[in-house]
Amino acid sequence: MKPTDTITRSVRTDQVEHRWWVVDATGQTLGRLASRVAALIRGKHKPLFTPHVDCGDYVIVVNAEKVVLKGKRAEQKEYFRYTGYPGGARFEKVADLLAQNPAKVIEHAVYGMLPKNRLGRRMRLKLKVYAGPNHPHQAQQPEPYELPKQ
């Protein structure tokens, strides 16, 4: 092997260092915010990213109520769920959900960008979303993560 050849490294779970980030959702577009947060949770911003290992960081999203949806998206976009009973289809508009529980909108968008397996379900626990500017995670000493303004 030549000294110029690179070696692909695979990180083990015990070698991963998890950090805490605070992301402010004020004025951010929902989809762009969700894709950046999902990349942080997966650990794709780290040089030693390994797809089959949970090497991502914890993310706290504050001011979820101030997230922006462009155009007619808030009135036209609907979330679908099924109760399991005949005729149990339920539809909910994003504008209504933003008024009731803005954290659910961001969680739904980020969860859709995570893997659909055991690892993805474990990564879901690393997302904390709050409607206002306050959060109870001061003991973890989270660092602010700057997203580019749109």
Sketch the domain layout of the chain as residue ranges: 18-144
* 116 has a pLDDT exceeding 90: yes
The pLDDT value recorded for residue 148 is: 78
The average pLDDT across 1-24 equals: 85
- Give per-residue pLDDT as tens, 38-97: 999 999 999 999 999 999 999 999 999 999 999 999 999 999 999 999 999 999 999 999
* 150 has a pLDDT exceeding 80: no
- Reported as a pLDDT band with limits 50, 70 and 90, residue 36 is very high
The pLDDT value recorded for residue 147 is: 86
The pLDDT value recorded for residue 1 is: 57
Q: What CATH number does the domain located at 18-144 have?
A: 3.90.1180.10
Mean pLDDT of the chain: 94
- Reported as a pLDDT band with limits 50, 70 and 90, residue 121 is very high
- What's the per-residue H, E or C state across the chain? CCCCCCCCCCCCHHHCCCCEEEEECCCCEHHHHHHHHHHHHHCCCCCCCCCCCCCCCEEEEECHHHCECCCCHHHHCEEEEECCCCCCEEEEEHHHHHHHCHHHHHHHHHHCCCCCCHHHHHHHHHEEECCCCCCCCHHHCCEECCCCCC
Angstrom distances, CA of residue 133 to CA of 33, 52, 87, 119, 144:
16, 34, 40, 29, 13
CB 91 within 8 A of CB 78: yes
- Give per-residue pLDDT as tens, 123-146: 999 999 999 999 999 999 999 999
Provide the whole-model pTM.
0.90
Chain centroid to Cα 96, Å, comes to 21
